[in-house]
Amino acid sequence: MMTSGIDLKYLTISQANQALNAGDYTSHDLTQIHLDAMAAERNLNSFITETPHRALAMAEASDKRRSKGESIGPLDGIPLAIKDLFCTEEILSTAASRALDGFIPSYESTVTNNLWNAGAVLLGKTNMDEFAMGSANVTSYYGNCINPWKASSGNLVGRDLVPGGSSGGSAAAVAARLALGATGTDTGGSIRQPSSFCGVVGLKPTYGRCSRWGIIAFASSLDQAGPITRSVRDAALMLAEMAGFDSKDSTSANLPVPNYVESLDGNIKGLRIGIPSEYKLGSMPDEIEDIWEQGRNWLLDAGAEVVDISLPHTKYALPSYYIIAPAEASSNLARYDGIRYGLRVEGEDLIDTYEKTRAAGFGDEVKRRIMIGTYVLSAGYYDAYYLQAQKVRTQITNDFNSVWKQCDAILTPTTPSAAFAIGDKMEDPIAMYLNDIFTVPASMAGLPAISIPAALNKEGLPLGLHVIGPAFTEQMVLRIAEVIEAAAEFTASPNINNIAAG
Amino acid sequence: MSLDTNTVRRIARLARLHIPESELDPLASDLSNIIGWVEQLSEVKTDGIEPMTTVVETAPHHREDIVNDGGNSSKVLSNAPDSIDGFYTVIKVIE
């Protein structure tokens, strides 16, 4: 779409910032064109709530600052989409659950507050899996979100594909050029997997890098907010504003926020990149193995060393995740009892009210995880399941700690496949869980990891590469990611109206 | 390990989830599959391994013991199902 000299097809946050500073157009223009694109692509169902009035008011305030020479940084006037897991003051915040029907927070999450203080503009709240539990955005109370990408050949032609999950709406909105960037949250892969499926960049920072305050909790020892963008540079720009110490989150890291953009110097000479043998699955499709090999060669060409490494407990990461995350979820979601806010279904007595409220408020996947979590924490099973899973988690973390003696970062594929069709993998929860097989280990160890679009497969769907680093090495992870981005030259975009018209 | 319908009924009660009788069997089968799959963890040797408590070690921080927020009763009550004189009112939750 071309209006007022704005071409959404190629625009990034850093380019938009330059254009705003040069006076080529205003934040109002930029915001309006995104609101129009959102309205034109409502069939994707990537937003639960659109906030056009708030967006235009924020854009006008930004334009006023800029006209007085008081721009407050690279995100000033940049329209963003926010995952509906972040509480936003006076704006419906649902976690895509009926349980939070009509919930309008009277407070703002720290991460979104940081973004507004940096001048960013709120376009709306994006669709997601209910309470961030899912890998296909099919568990949302508000209906599934659709991936803007379509298969160009093969048996997926003509079918709507999933955007991945749980941050499916955020990834779809960024891929479809409905927002310049978006926030996501990642518990076991919920930023990286949808970013891979939608051909965009998704960064999960180190656990504690971004405050969790005001983010509706799923699994508190794993949840972490991060950016979803169309370039690595944009991810660095957004992270710089999202990150930082927050006294309201006791697990927030009390460390200075480095200048992430400055560290993008393209120099990875001498860095040792680990290739973990345990990630080579017998069932891995050739296209995934090929892109992984391609990524390895790109890094070699850029002067990095490549070393074979072993992370022996990799295969246990997913099963231990599916004990720990549901256990924490069953505890976190105990608060949705219908008494103080959100949905209430009256029953015959108090217990019946609780049970009916929660049965009506939660969808099938959320109920399944609450049941698993309650079971593994119940008397007689706690040691065998929960405690054992926490010991395995220690060993997964120890694996990473010992491997950092041999390498500086790790390269893997982001996902074991490209996007699949809506409705597939629905019968078997474990088949759905396996989507996160490459992303969960870094989550279990709290490590920073990023997905970068690397290529299209033969069906014309995006595939991502995944870089993992030691705790708090986001600068290096972003630098490696930008080298991959430059080598991959991924310029494809989904063939949808608001892009095709440009 | 497979979960029978009685176990599922008991867990549903603990989790305060109303599960209709007709859904207990399919749910028991779903949960049994998941529990059966996570049971592979029992083959991991964990002798002498401490269970994870903090994934990324950060120094605990203290804040000044001062009042830094408050006076927001109308905001706090904005999601209340009902309120009287600045107090939250809910259905009777103590028998």
Which residues are within 8 A (CB) of A10 and not within 5 positions of it... i.e. 6 or more apart? none
Q: Among residues 208-237 of chain A, which lie with CB inside 8 Å of chain B?
A: 208, 221-222
Asked if A85 contacts A132 with a C-beta cutoff of 8 angstroms, the reply is: yes
Per-residue pLDDT of chain A (502 residues), as tens digits, is: 445 578 887 899 999 999 999 999 999 999 999 999 999 999 999 999 999 999 999 999 999 999 999 999 999 999 999 999 999 999 999 999 999 999 999 999 999 999 999 999 999 999 999 999 999 999 999 999 999 999 999 999 999 999 999 999 999 999 999 999 999 999 999 999 999 999 999 999 999 999 999 999 999 999 999 999 999 999 999 999 999 999 999 999 999 999 999 999 999 999 999 999 999 988 889 999 999 999 999 999 999 999 999 999 999 999 999 999 999 999 999 999 999 999 999 999 999 999 999 999 999 999 999 999 999 999 999 999 999 999 999 999 999 999 999 999 999 999 999 999 999 988 888 888 898 999 999 999 999 999 999 999 999 999 999 999 999 999 999 999 999 999 999 999 998 866 654 4
- The per-type count for chain B, helices as H runs and strands as E runs, is 3, 2
Whether B37 and chain A come into contact, CB under 8 Å, resolves to yes
Q: Looking up tokens 């609780």, which residue turns up?
A: A354
Write the burial class of residue A491 (CB in 10 Å: 0-12 exposed, 13-18 middle, 19+ buried). Answer: exposed
Give A245's contacts in chain B (Cβ within 8 Å).
61
- Contact across the interface for B33 and A430, Cβ inside 8 Å: yes
Give A251's contacts in chain B (Cβ within 8 Å).
54, 56, 58
Asked if A483 contacts A477 with a C-beta cutoff of 8 angstroms, the reply is: no
Cβ–Cβ contacts within 10 Å for residue A256, how many?
A: 9
Give B16's contacts in chain A (Cβ within 8 Å).
334, 337, 351, 354-355, 358
Q: Cα(A235)–Cα(A261) distance, rounded to whole angstroms?
A: 9
Domain assignments of chain A as residue spans, ordered by start: 12-270+411-498
- Measure in Å the smallest separation between the Cα of A281 and chain B Cα atoms: 17
Give B79's contacts in chain A (Cβ within 8 Å).
103-106, 340-342
Q: Which amino acid would we find at residue A142? A: Y
Asked if A393 contacts A400 with a C-beta cutoff of 8 angstroms, the reply is: no
Q: Cα(A292)–Cα(A196) distance, rounded to whole angstroms?
A: 13
Least CB–CB distance from A340: residue in B11, B46, B80: B80
The predicted complex's ipTM stands at: 0.95
| Backbone angles phi and psi of A276, in degrees to 5 | -75, 125
Q: Which residues of A are catalytic?
A: 83, 166, 190
Among the listed residues B11, B21, B20, B17, the one whose alpha carbon sits nearest the alpha carbon of residue A358 = B17
Whether A9 and chain B come into contact, CB under 8 Å, resolves to no
Least CB–CB distance from B79: residue in A103, A355, A372: A103
- Per the structure block, which two tokens stand in for A428? 């078997």
Whether A387 and chain B come into contact, CB under 8 Å, resolves to yes
Whether A377 and chain B come into contact, CB under 8 Å, resolves to no
Give A320's contacts in chain B (Cβ within 8 Å).
38, 41
DSSP A354-399: HHHHHHHHS-HHHHHHHHHHHHHHSTTTTIIIIIHHHHHHHHHHHH
Return the beta strands (E) in A205-302 as ranges.
Answer: 224-229, 272-276
3-state secondary structure of A432: helix
pLDDT digits (tens, 9 = 90+) for A316-328: 999 999 999 999 9
Q: Cα(B54)–Cα(A251) distance, rounded to whole angstroms?
A: 9
3-state secondary structure of A3: strand
pLDDT digits (tens, 9 = 90+) for A79-134: 999 999 999 999 999 999 999 999 999 999 999 999 999 999 999 999 999 999 99
Whether A359 and chain B come into contact, CB under 8 Å, resolves to yes
pLDDT digits (tens, 9 = 90+) for A380-416: 999 999 999 999 999 999 999 999 999 999 999 999 9
- pTM score, two decimals? 0.97
- Contact across the interface for B91 and A339, Cβ inside 8 Å: yes
In this structure, the dihedral spanned by the alpha carbons of residues A89, A52, A1 and A11, taken in order and rounded to 10 degrees, is -30
What is the layout of strands, in order, in the sheet containing A79-83?
Answer: A47-50, A121-126, A79-83, A181-186, A224-229, A201-204, A449-456, A462-468, A409-413, A272-276, A305-309
- Measure in Å the smallest separation between the Cα of B85 and chain A Cα atoms: 16
Q: Among residues 67-86 of chain B, which lie with CB inside 8 Å of chain A?
A: 72, 75-76, 78-81
- Contact across the interface for A319 and B41, Cβ inside 8 Å: yes
- Contact across the interface for B15 and A374, Cβ inside 8 Å: yes
The region that residue A23 occupies, defined by phi over 0 for left and psi between -120 and 50 for alpha, beta otherwise, is: left
Q: Cα(A228)–Cα(A205) distance, rounded to whole angstroms?
A: 12
Angle of helix A52-67 relative to helix A27-40, nearest 10 degrees, comes to 160
CA distances from A468 to A185, A216, A418, A422 (A): 17, 26, 20, 29
| Domain A12-270+411-498 CATH assignment equals 3.90.1300.10 | yes
The CA R_g of chain A, rounded to the nearest whole Å, is 21
Q: Least CA distance to B82: which residue of chain A?
A: A340
Interface test with A, best of B23, B44, B49, B95 (most A CBs within 10 A): B44
Cβ–Cβ contacts within 10 Å for residue A204, how many?
A: 35
Q: Cα(A222)–Cα(A206) distance, rounded to whole angstroms?
A: 10
